[in-house]
């Protein structure tokens, strides 16, 4: 009998998990009140980080320095279609998400660290890699290490004062926030707001705004419409395709610092009368709508303090105008008052 001995890579014996593989490349960005150090063994992976976070104002909340390692998987199996939807996991002080054995993220909030592993095939799906894995690490680290309440809400502001924008899907929040920015308001975030529950200061990542194709009909400025049409098209897991409009470069105002919340606005799909789109809410109505709108946030440790702070906010329902610019004007008048 002949026995064949296969060669063994001694590096694999000494470091079977690849955890000591050198990460010679790095980036540092101020995000969501914290300082993020991104380290990688791959320029392609750092390019995804630069695309997501380059050119953003660094919001300061006296947060910690956090570390995200980005590692390229050694072997690969090409995706024949869109990558599978990530599966959430957690336990023993860890949270994470996994697409498959090569594409996953693991976050250890107590240590302020995360590791993201991506395959070369995943690089062909940059939107999913950024939003479902890299952004997962950033959002979870920022929120959990600083005690921020993560909300599915947009936010715009003026002179340091902010208005949170909530509402059901299809209420036109993205189009509304774009028109608010076009009218000179500070853009904080399209749909991911992070709030210090005791001070009610809100931060977010103002990199992109995602517009449905039919929203172009409401953009009267030819230059802005052309900018949107020239933007990459992303495909949501729902199958809806949208333009990914990059807000950086100085063509709109991005909030330079976290905004102090004063208003909580619920966008409605119901039509309203011109000049009377806003309806004030009582405190009880505000809190009822807030609980109905933020199922995920309700399970976070800072939720009770946030709700208590919201009792001091002004609550509003914003009806749909004949043109999104009317809703944006209503928000502007609210923030100027």
> Can you give the residue ranges of every domain in the chain?
19-146, 150-336
Kindly report, residue by residue over 35-90, the tens digit of the pLDDT.
999 999 999 999 999 999 999 999 988 899 999 999 999 877 788 889 999 999 99
**What pLDDT score was predicted for residue 80?**
81
Contacts of 217 (CB under 8 A, 6+ apart): none
The pTM for the full model equals 0.92
pLDDT-above-70 percentage for the chain: 94
- The Cα–Cα gap between 305 and 310 comes to 9
Hey, what are 240's tokens? 């809806």
Instruction: Tell me the DSSP string of 196-250.
Output: -TTT-EEE---SEEEEEGGGGGG---HHHHHHHHTS-EEE-TTS-EEEEEE-TTT
- Contact call for residues 178 and 209 (beta carbons, < 8 A): yes
Give the chain's mean pLDDT: 93
Instruction: Tell me the average pLDDT across 109-121.
Output: 96
**What pLDDT score was predicted for residue 15?**
67
- CB-hemisphere CA count at 13 Å for 54? 9
Instruction: Tell me the DSSP string of 139-157.
Output: HHHHHHHHTPEEES-EEEE
- Contact call for residues 47 and 93 (beta carbons, < 8 A): no
**What pLDDT score was predicted for residue 5?**
55
Domain covering 150-336 assigned CATH 3.90.245.10 in the classification: no
């Amino acid at each position: 009998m002949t026995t064949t001995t296969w060669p063994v890579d001694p590096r694999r014996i000494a470091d079977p998990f690849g955890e000591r593989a050198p990460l010679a490349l790095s980036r540092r960005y101020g995000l969501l009140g914290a300082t993020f150090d991104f380290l990688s063994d791959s320029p392609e992976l750092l390019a995804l980080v630069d695309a997501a976070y380059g050119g953003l104002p660094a919001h300061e909340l006296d947060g910690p320095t956090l570390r995200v390692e980005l590692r390229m998987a050694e072997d690969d199996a090409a995706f024949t279609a869109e990558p599978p939807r990530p599966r959430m996991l957690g336990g023993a002080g860890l949270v994470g998400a996994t697409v498959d054995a090569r594409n996953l993220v693991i976050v250890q909030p107590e240590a302020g660290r995360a590791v993201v592993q991506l395959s070369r095939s995943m690089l062909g799906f940059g939107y999913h890699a950024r939003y479902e894995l890299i952004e997962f690490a950033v959002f979870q680290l920022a929120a959990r290490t600083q005690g921020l309440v993560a909300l599915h809400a947009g936010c715009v502001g003026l002179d340091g004062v902010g208005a949170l924008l909530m509402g059901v899907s299809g209420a036109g929040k993205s189009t509304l926030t774009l028109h608010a920015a076009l009218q000179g308001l500070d853009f904080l975030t399209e749909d991911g707001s992070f709030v210090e529950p005791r001070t009610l200061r809100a931060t977010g990542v103002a990199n992109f705004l995602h517009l449905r194709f039919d929203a172009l009909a409401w953009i009267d400025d030819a230059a802005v419409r052309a900018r949107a049409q020239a933007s990459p098209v992303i495909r949501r897991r729902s199958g809806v395709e949208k333009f990914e409009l990059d807000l950086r470069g100085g063509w709109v105002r991005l909030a330079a610092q976290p905004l102090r919340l004063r208003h909580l606005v619920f966008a409605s799909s119901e039509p309203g009368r011109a000049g009377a789109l806003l309806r004030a809410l009582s405190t009880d109505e505000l809190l009822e709508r807030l609980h109905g709108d933020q199922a995920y946030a309700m399970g976070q440790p800072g939720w009770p303090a946030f709700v208590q702070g919201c009792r001091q906010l002004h609550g509003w329902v914003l009806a749909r105008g004949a043109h999104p610019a009317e809703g944006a004007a209503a928000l502007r008048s609210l923030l100027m008052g």
